[in-house]
Structure 1
Amino acid sequence: MSKVVCFGEIMLRLAPAGYLRFEQAQSFDAVYGGGEANVAVSLANFGVDALFVTKVPDNPVGQAAINEMRRYGVDTAYMVRGGERIGIYFLEKGASQRPSKVVYDRKYSSVSQAQSRDFDWKKICAGADWFHFTGITPALGDHVAEAVLDACKAAKKAGLTVSCDLNFRKNLWTSEKAGEVMTRFMPYVDVCIANEEDAEKVFGIKAGSTDITGGKLSHDGYKDVARQLSDRFGFKAVAITLRSSISASDNNWAAMLYKGGEYYFSRNYAVHIVDRVGGGDSFGGGLIYALRAGLSNQEALEFAVAASCLKHSIEGDHNHVTVNEVKTLMAGDGSGRVQR
């Protein structure tokens, strides 16, 4: 069976218990996560052979990160050991009108010091049919960006489908730098995934008649964004998640897919949030699974949105749901009734 390759950083997430603020915390709960790692775990949970590529320190913490991925059935054969440390992020979960906060501590992390020679991309891509990365990884440094570019070239040469979640992070780089670097990867990308802000922050393409702070999203505006992205870069598909934030605790969640010249919109879910970190990654994992499984364009979109809807109810970065659970929600059973 062919596999999906994901390349990025796995991080240690430290968070106060429940909804405590940083200054209230006497201890921190520790889990692992990261954009591409979350996608790999989602795919493994769906029964896909997923391979995660990264660099972690050659110490017990790095080994714990490797063990985390193995725990969920992800292939860790190309999690390279070396470098100084694992990246950390601190998460303060928001509630009601108080937003969540993230503080990064990832300078000099092993992945940020990785170079192309750390990875044998020809060997890594052998037996795979899909390669996935996000805009977070090249933002970690110029050497990492070169590694991502080499990976994209190797993936296309080997005939893999390439997907990219733009995932703009203002704490990692500027819009100008992001646009300059990400433009280099786009000729190799088949499926582009973005949210309400990514296209604007990275490529200057803004959805008209939209106010994400006020919770106003325009379908026509996002149709235009998807079309412009596709026209500029030749993508085979563009998926855009549509999050309308009522508060930190309650969101409306949906998405759009532009493929084959047609626009598809999912149903909308009113989500009461347990943990929203990894929501976009769970959408990406769901979309990759569904497209590889041969679902129709509408069904693939609905599967991805339902999978990510469920993720918002799960603590931690990873999406611990099965294909059957996602299909149950797709079929309309969102009652949350106890299953016995």
Structure 2
Amino acid sequence: MAKLVTMGEIMLRLSTPNNEKFIQADEFDVNYGGGEANVAVSLANYGHDVEFVTAVPKNPIGECAVAALRKYNVGTKHIAKCGERLGIYYLETGSAMRASAVVYDRAHSSIATATAANFDFNEIFKDADWFHFTGITPAVSDEAAELTEAALKAAKANGVTVSVDLNFRKKLWSSEKAQKVMTNLMQYVDVCIGNEEDAEKVLGFKPGNTDVTSGELELQGYVDIFNQMVDKFNFKYVVSSLRESFSASDNGWSACIMDGATREFYHSKKYRVTPIVDRVGGGDSFAAGVICGLVDGKDFKGALEYAVAASALKHTIPGDFNLVTREDVETLAGGDGSGRVQR
């Protein structure tokens, strides 16, 4: 199996039970998660050797976050113990036409104040095959943006393939700041993952005359965006999940990919995911599926189908982590979505 590295922030997640609004809740459900941590757990579940790089405070809450990763066989030896606090996010899970809501409490967290001096990146990327990061980490702080670039430079110096999930978060930074920072980081990226909003807000790409936000998926808009992105950054692959939100509980789910060398474009099969149990981490499980498919040697179409099936299944699992197995994913990708009891 491949050696894979992800880097980002793991947070304490406090979510309202039973679809309650914040004002109703007298207690919260506790989970741990975060973009790159979620990817790490998925990849470890598929049997890969995965290391997660982050910083957590040297206190019991930091240890709980590390333990949550160890439980799922994610390597934690390169996690720095520094800083004062673990980031927190509060989740109010929506239902039907009521959208979910997230409140961040992550300012001055350990990863936001960490520097490259806290990590030995040459050791981290020794014999590594793949490095994954997201646009969330450089958005956390200027220090985190500098840390991300230091990691990327070390990854490329060690011959590591790099993927990014653009993941624009308007509550963390502006589109102008995102474009300034992330455009620079794209020079290190081989595989770029992100939906049409990410492409526009993070990198400034817009479709031609096609409205990709219309009720019907207009795939030509994605072809336009993907071609622009490959022209500018020479990505090996550009990938996007395609979510059709009929309601907070009912989504259409598919994806598309372009081979940067041939410009061949492919749209996956579509799943109707309803009722959704928890959509948080859906994009991360998709990114992990793309990575797993490619490092396993699947062609880009097979990797995309694997990713879409994996992320469709994540919507049925509470918490940030996608806890499905390879067999689960391959069964669904192979056409069995019956949900019959396995005896």
TM-score with structure 1 length normalisation?
0.98
For residues 146-295 of structure 1, the aligned pairs below 5 Å read 146-207=146-207, 208-210=209-211, 212=213, 215-259=215-259, 260=261, 261-272=263-274, 273-295=276-298
For residues 56-71 of structure 1, the aligned pairs below 5 Å read 56-71=56-71
Question: Partner of 1:136 in structure 2?
Answer: 136
Question: Partner of 1:298 in structure 2?
Answer: 301
CA distance in 1, matches of 2:164, 2:64: 27
Q: Which moved more, 1:203-212 or 1:78-87?
A: 203-212
Contact 1:45 1:320 in 2 (8 A): yes
CA distance in 1, matches of 2:326, 2:133: 23
CA distance in 1, matches of 2:148, 2:217: 32
Contact 1:196 1:243 in 2 (8 A): no
Shift of 1:206: 2.1
Question: Partner of 1:92 in structure 2?
Answer: 92
Which residue of 320, 328, 338 maps to 1:325?
Answer: 328
Contact 2:196 2:212 in 1 (8 A): no
Instruction: Report Cα offsets for 1:96-133 as digits up to 9, x if no partner.
Output: 00000000000111111111111111110002110000
Shift of 1:211: 5.1
Question: Partner of 2:25 in structure 1?
Answer: 25
Question: Partner of 1:9 in structure 2?
Answer: 9
Q: Matched residue of 1:246: which SS? A: strand
Q: Matched residue of 2:18: which SS? A: coil
TM-score with structure 2 length normalisation?
0.97
CA distance in 2, matches of 1:116, 1:173: 22
Aligned length: 339
Instruction: Report Cα offsets for 1:13-37 as digits up to 9, x if no partner.
Output: 0011120000000100000000000
1:45 aligns with 2:45: yes
Shift of 1:210: 2.5
Contact 2:13 2:89 in 1 (8 A): yes
Amino acid at match of 2:78: Y
Question: Partner of 1:34 in structure 2?
Answer: 34
CA distance in 2, matches of 1:255, 1:154: 31
Identity of aligned residues (%): 57
Contact 1:32 1:317 in 2 (8 A): yes
CA RMSD of aligned residues (A): 1.0
CA distance in 1, matches of 2:41, 2:206: 32
Shift of 1:2: 3.9
CA distance in 1, matches of 2:143, 2:319: 29
Contact 1:9 1:55 in 2 (8 A): yes
Contact 1:5 1:132 in 2 (8 A): yes
Instruction: Report Cα offsets for 1:208-237 as digits up to 9, x if no partner.
Output: 43253x533210000111111111111111
Shift of 1:80: 0.6
CA distance in 1, matches of 2:292, 2:280: 20
Runs of 4+, deviation exceeding 3 Å: none
CA distance in 2, matches of 1:116, 1:80: 11
CA distance in 2, matches of 1:70, 1:158: 26
Instruction: Report Cα offsets for 1:130-189 as digits up to 9, x if no partner.
Output: 000000000011111111101111101100000000000000000000000001110110
Which residue of 315, 319, 332 maps to 1:316?
Answer: 319
Contact 1:131 1:161 in 2 (8 A): yes
Contact 1:210 1:216 in 2 (8 A): no
Contact 2:257 2:265 in 1 (8 A): yes
